[in-house]
Amino acid sequence: MAVTVYRGDIAYAENEKTLRTAEASYLVVEDGFVKNIFPQLPEEYGELPVTDFGRGLIIPAFSDLHIHASQYVQRGTGMDKLLFDWLNDCTFPQEARFADMEYARRVYDALVRDLIRNGTFHASIFTTVHYEASDYLFRLLDRKGLYAYTGKVNMDVNSPDFLREETEESLRSTERFLAEHGDSPTVKPMLTPRFAPTCSEKLLKGLGKLAKKYACGVQTHLVESIAEVKWTLELFPQYRCDAEIYEKCGLLDGGQSIFAHVIFPSEEDLSILRKAGSIAVHCPDATANVTAGIMPAAALSKRELPIALGTDIGAGAEAAVYRQVSRAVQLSKLKEFFEPEGNGRLSFAQAFYMATKAGGSVFDRVGSLEPGYRFNALVLDGLEDDVGPMAPADRLERFCYAGDDRNIIARFLDGKPLEAE
C-alpha cells in the first residue's frame, strides 16, 4: 500500500453548516484516499517522510457543475446583453466554429489548462452539437484524469441553420457518443439537450430512450429567465412546468440530473427535481451577466434541494469557481435586501460546501477531506498579511474573495501531484 503524509493547516466543508479546520496537522493518504487527519502523527506512520507545507492550507479541489467549454473564448465579452441576445449575437455564431477541429483543440486545451490551474478537478461540461470536437474534449478530460460529465449538445428547433441538427441525426450522433465513451474511469458521457426551447418533443423523447438504454444522466438549463420560462411553456403547452418536460420524456430515469440556474422554479419543478435526486447549479456571475434574476439559493437549500456552484463559462467570465463562492454570498445578500420575505442569505461555509462537497456528490468520493475521500486537493499559501497570523477559515474566505491561482502552490489528483501548465 502506498502511504503518504502531509503536514499543514487544513480546511474542508463537512456539510452546509460545518467548516472543519485544523492547524499544524497531519493528513495521511493511503492509495490515493484520505485515511485520516491527526493532530500528532501516530507511531505507525513515524518512519514515513512528511511533506510539510508549513502554514500552507490544504483544501479539497473544487467542483464546477456548469461550464460551456466552447464558450471559453467568449468570456468577458458581450456581457451587457440579456440571455437571448447574448445567445443569438455572440454565442451561437461562436459555437458554430467548433466544426473546425483546429479551433476546437485550441479552445478546449486552453479551458482544461485553466481549470487545472484554478483547482477545478470535478466538472460537468457542455460542448456544442459537433461530434468530433466533443469527442476531443472527452478524451482530453480522461487523459488528465479529471472527474467529469460531458456530452455533445442537442438542438433541433428554434436554432440558427448553422447549428441546427436534424432530429434523427442528433439522436444518432448522441447514441454514438454514449456508445463510444463508456470506457473512462473518471469521465462519463451525459445527455446535454441545450434547453427545452431548442429541442423538439420528438428529440427529447428519443433522448429519454437513450437515457434508459445507456443508464445515462442529463444536464441542461432550467428556468433561467422569466422570458425563457414563458417561451418554454408556450412551446410545450401540454406540460405543467419545465422540469416535467424532462421527467415525462424519460430523461430523469437513467442517471444523475444536473440543472443549471433554477432561478424561477415552480412548486411542481421543485417536487420533480427532489424526487429525481437532481442537483441545481447556482451560477452567480452568469446570472448577473446575462439573465434577470437571482437564484433563491438560501431558500431553496432550506427546502432540501441540493445546490452546487458553476461558473457557466462563458456567461460567467472566469474559470475560478472559488470566486463563485464569494459571489454566491454577495448575491444572496442582495436577494435578501430586495426581497426580505422568505429568503435569508448564504453563509460562507454553505457556499464553500456547494463548490466542493455538494458539487462533488455527483462523482465518486470527491470534494471533501473526510476519511474515505479521494485526495483531490489544493494547497493555498500567500493569503496572510505580515501583521499577524490568520485563522484557516479566514484565509480560505480571503482566497475566495481576493485570491487567484498564484495562491495555489500544490495540486493533488487521486493522491498524485498534478502539475499546472
Classify the phi-psi angles of 307: left when phi > 0, otherwise alpha if psi is within -120 to 50, otherwise beta. Answer: beta
Angle at CA 248, nearest 5°, toward 246 and 250? 70
Cβ proximity to ligand GUN, 31 vs 89, nearer residue: 89
Beta strands 50-60; 33-38: pairing state: unpaired
The SS3 assignment for 119 reads: coil
Residue nearest to ligand GUN (CB): 315
Q: Which of 79, 286, 297, 349 binds ligand GUN (CB under 6 A)?
A: 286
Q: Can you count the helices (H) and strands (E) in the chain? A: 15, 17
| Per-residue contact flags (x/-) with ligand GUN for residues 88 to 107, judged by CB under 6 A | ---x----------------
Tell me the closest approach of the beta carbon of residue 48 to ligand GUN, in angstroms: 47
| Residue 245 found at the interface with ligand GUN (CB under 6 A) | no
With contacts defined by CB under 5 A, name the span among 91-99, 169-177, 212-220, 312-320 that binds Fe ion: 312-320
The SS3 assignment for 191 reads: strand
359, 64 Cβ separation under 8 angstroms: yes
114, 58 Cβ separation under 8 angstroms: no
| Residue 312 found at the interface with Fe ion (CB under 5 A) | yes
253 binds, among ligand GUN, Fe ion, none (CB under 5 to 8 A by kind): none
Residue nearest to Fe ion (CB): 312
241, 232 Cβ separation under 8 angstroms: no
| Residue 95 found at the interface with Fe ion (CB under 5 A) | no
Residue with cell 451560477: 283
Q: Per CB under 6 A, which of residues 348..387 are in contact with ligand GUN?
A: none
Tell me the closest approach of the beta carbon of residue 189 to ligand GUN, in angstroms: 19
Tell me the closest approach of the beta carbon of residue 281 to ligand GUN, in angstroms: 11
| Residue 194 found at the interface with ligand GUN (CB under 6 A) | yes
Q: Which residues does 349 contact at the CB level (< 8 Å), separation at least 6?
A: 13, 16, 17, 18, 19
| Residue 224 found at the interface with ligand GUN (CB under 6 A) | yes
| Residue 315 found at the interface with ligand GUN (CB under 6 A) | yes
Residue with cell 486552453: 110
For helices 131-144 and 101-117, the axis angle rounded to 10 degrees is 30
Beta strands 257-261; 218-222: pairing state: parallel
| Residue 134 found at the interface with ligand GUN (CB under 6 A) | no
158, 198 Cβ separation under 8 angstroms: yes
| Per-residue contact flags (x/-) with ligand GUN for residues 322 to 341, judged by CB under 6 A | --------------------
Tell me the closest approach of the beta carbon of residue 107 to ligand GUN, in angstroms: 15
| Residue 191 found at the interface with ligand GUN (CB under 6 A) | no
Q: Which of 35, 68, 323, 357 binds ligand GUN (CB under 6 A)?
A: 68
Cβ proximity to ligand GUN, 90 vs 270, nearer residue: 90
Cβ proximity to Fe ion, 22 vs 69, nearer residue: 69
Tell me the closest approach of the beta carbon of residue 238 to ligand GUN, in angstroms: 22
| Residue 70 found at the interface with ligand GUN (CB under 6 A) | no
16 CB burial (10 A radius; 0-12, 13-18, 19+): buried
Tell me the closest approach of the beta carbon of residue 194 to ligand GUN, in angstroms: 5
173, 219 Cβ separation under 8 angstroms: no
Q: Which residues does 77 contact at the CB level (< 8 Å), separation at least 6?
A: 90, 314
With contacts defined by CB under 6 A, name the span among 83-91, 98-106, 162-170, 207-215 that binds ligand GUN: 83-91
Nearest Cα neighbor of 23 from 33, 5, 12, 9 is 9
How many other CB atoms are found less than 10 A from the CB of residue 34?
Answer: 23
Tell me the closest approach of the beta carbon of residue 154 to Fe ion, in angstroms: 14
Residues that bind ligand GUN (CB under 6 A): 68, 83, 87, 91, 194-195, 221, 224, 286, 290, 312, 315
Residues that bind Fe ion (CB under 5 A): 312
